[in-house]
A and B are shown apart, each in its own frame.
Chain A
Amino acid sequence: MTGSAAAGTTRRTASGGEAAVRVTGLRKSFPGKGGRVEALRGVDLSVPAGQIYGFLGPNGAGKTTALRILTTLLRADAGEVVVAGLDVGSHPAAVRRRIGYVGQRGGADIEATGRENLVLQGRLYGMGRHETERRADELIERLDLAPFCERIARTYSGGQRRRLEVALGIVHRPDVLFLDEPTLGLDPQNRANLWDQLRRLRDAGTTVLLTTHYLDEADRLSDRVAIIDHGLVVAEGTPEELRGRYPAAVTITPRPGFADLAAVAALLGREPLVREARIDGETIRVDLDSATTGMAAIFALLRARGVEVQGVSLREPSLDDVFLHETGRSLRDAGAPPAMEAIAS
């Protein structure tokens, strides 16, 4: 049960359905050992305005490459990329004014104070001196930077620096904010804090696009998810839609000595919401289309047949099941081990 109810209630629909980001046929390859390595092999996707959109995939899947093309840092080999209504290839300068970017390495200037970082960033976006000062004050309050914003950023903890970096990404009130693995290396408290900040931005109308290799980040934070593997989008949708394609697994353990496992399994297999019921050692494993209504039906049947149950466990489908189904591997095992970025000081 991973907070899907909470996510469901805050879901917003894009106003008028226009896309903040539209990508068609995106390709990119890099020179590598033994020929070119294809990082993106024809990515298509559409990010609705005003949502949190997650790129989920293992390290090396192509998430970061895609993000770097969307943020004007890299040029695509082929394909069309439109961000905030502008073609990234032909209008990179105009795109830069409308987007914010928080890179994996952060990018705070550690030899300057937090406030100096914010003011310089605002002024580079063409904001006036007073406007920038006001905006810096506002962000210092909103992101809780006040206790340390007059200190050199070198002295910040990992969480403090990340908050400053998010503030740097939104100084100029961008339409679309891009974040590359924003919670990598953060402790759970700072992670939850950052999630809240991103939700608040989304609620204020900013489109947030982030990459992650954390299942729960994609599932609980994102309104929509694109699962990326080997340079392709293998699945796309809301987390509920994606999870809903796969059954919940129920494991029933009858009292020891219960002899009639096969008969009960056969009966369970005939229930409408049950996809499959099979015997697994001393237990019965049932795949259910819907966990909530399906469980009730199972319990009713077990009681009617007088089956004494020692234990029942339920495993709801996760985005990992989606990944496993689409790629044949588990996300937890796929890709290289996560690079331990030295974000925390």
Chain B
Amino acid sequence: MTFLLQTALLARRRILETLRQPIWVFMGMSVPLMYLALFAPLLKPLAGGPGFPGGSVLDVFVPGILALMAFGSGMGAGWIVIGELESGVIERLRVTPASRLALVLGTVLRDVLMFVVPAVLVLVVATPFGFHPHWAGLAILLGLLALLTAACSAGSAALGITLKQIGSLAAVVTGLQLPLTLLAGVLLPLSLGPGWLQGLAHVNPMYYAVEAARDLASGTLASAAVAEGFAVMGAAALLAIWWSTHAYRRAMA
């Protein structure tokens, strides 16, 4: 009970913090909308071709964009953590009896919310432009990608505590970002690529999230890809949260 209360209190603190900086809310929303407006039209001529079976290209493209948003919403956590190491907030919280897991989850929950709200907006905006929503599948899809956000958020926070410096964190995160997202096929399905590329993608956890997301968005709820997606993302989220909790327990700065 105490644990749930602490998690709720710490999440509330984070959400207030976000709402007080509307510029970030605005930026968070504008990036996916720009992808839709400025990149999706380039895919139009590919409709019906390989990788874009029937329907609208948006049906393939939107789940990828959602995965990209889920990734981006989580990865900011490390920056905040480093700021809080410097201002002593983390040290102060660590001297309170607050659960270390609650400290991690407070931020994770905010980041999940900061993924879900713009994601719904993207779905609403994309629908009149030819995206075919299967609402049940989309609801499950948001749940799956929330796990991706949670894994990224907890992982980024753990990296922040471990590295302690913005420069090192930025180097690691940008170094991971490109291979993780490219090898997940967020912009174009990897089925378009050669065999070795598809093989390489199988070591990337995010690949399974994107594959599952495309199935779910098309209304296929019970597929092997969906099961794999949940298994991989669930494991990644648990692992990252454990790592981050461990890092909070040991933090030294």
Contact = CB atoms under 8 A, between A and B. Distances in A.
Interface of A: 71-74, 93, 96-97, 99-101, 103-112, 116, 120-121, 123-126, 152, 165, 168
Main secondary structure of the interface of B (DSSP, over half): helix
A103 B10 CA distance: 20
A107 B92 contact: yes
Interface in B77-105: 86-98
Nearest to B84: A109
B235 to A, nearest CB: 29
Nearest 8 Cβ contacts at the A-B interface: A105-B88, A107-B92, A107-B88, A101-B95, A124-B98, A111-B17, A103-B88, A96-B97
A46 B93 CA distance: 27
Contact of A108 (B5, B21, B89): B89
Given A72-B95, A74-B252, A124-B96, A105 B13 contact: no
Given A96-B95, A103-B92, A108-B87, 19 more contacts: A72-B95, A100-B95, A103-B88, A103-B95, A105-B87, A105-B88, A106-B87, A107-B88, A109-B13, A109-B17, A109-B87, A111-B16, A112-B13, A112-B16, A116-B16, A121-B92, A124-B6, A124-B93, A125-B96
Contact of A120 (B9, B87, B88, B90): B9
Nearest to B86: A105
25 contacts: A72-B95, A73-B91, A74-B252, A100-B95, A103-B88, A103-B91, A105-B91, A107-B88, A107-B91, A108-B92, A109-B13, A109-B17, A109-B87, A111-B16, A111-B20, A111-B21, A112-B16, A120-B9, A120-B13, A121-B92, A121-B96, A123-B9, A124-B96, A125-B96, A125-B97
Contacts of B252: 73-74
Interface in B200-239: none
B95 A97 contact: no
Contacts of B90: 107
Interface of B: 2, 5-6, 9-10, 13, 16-17, 20-21, 86-98, 252
A187 B10 CA distance: 33
Contacts of A99: 95
Q: Which of B5, B6, B94 has the most CB of A within 10 A?
A: B94
Contacts of A168: 92
Contacts of A72: 94-95
A110 B80 CA distance: 12
A285 B8 CA distance: 69
Contacts of B21: 111
Nearest to B8: A123
A107 B87 contact: yes
Nearest to A99: B95
Nearest to A93: B97
A108 B87 CA distance: 7
A149 to B, nearest CB: 16
Nearest to B103: A124
A309 B228 CA distance: 97
Contacts of B2: 126
Nearest to B95: A101
Nearest to A98: B97
A103 B2 CA distance: 25
A105 B95 CA distance: 14
Contacts of B97: 93, 96-97, 124-126
A124 B9 contact: yes
B95 A73 contact: yes
Contacts of B98: 124
B102 to A, nearest CB: 9
A182 to B, nearest CB: 13
A270 to B, nearest CB: 58
Contacts of B93: 107, 124
Contacts of A106: 87-88, 92
B4 to A, nearest CB: 13
A104 B87 CA distance: 9
B96 A107 contact: no
Nearest to B18: A111
A116 B9 CA distance: 11
Contacts of B94: 72-73
A109 B96 contact: no
Nearest to B13: A120
Given A96-B96, A124-B97, A125-B97, A112 B86 contact: no
Contacts of B92: 101, 103, 106-108, 121, 165, 168
A108 to B, nearest CB: 7
Contacts of A125: 96-97
A111 B17 CA distance: 6
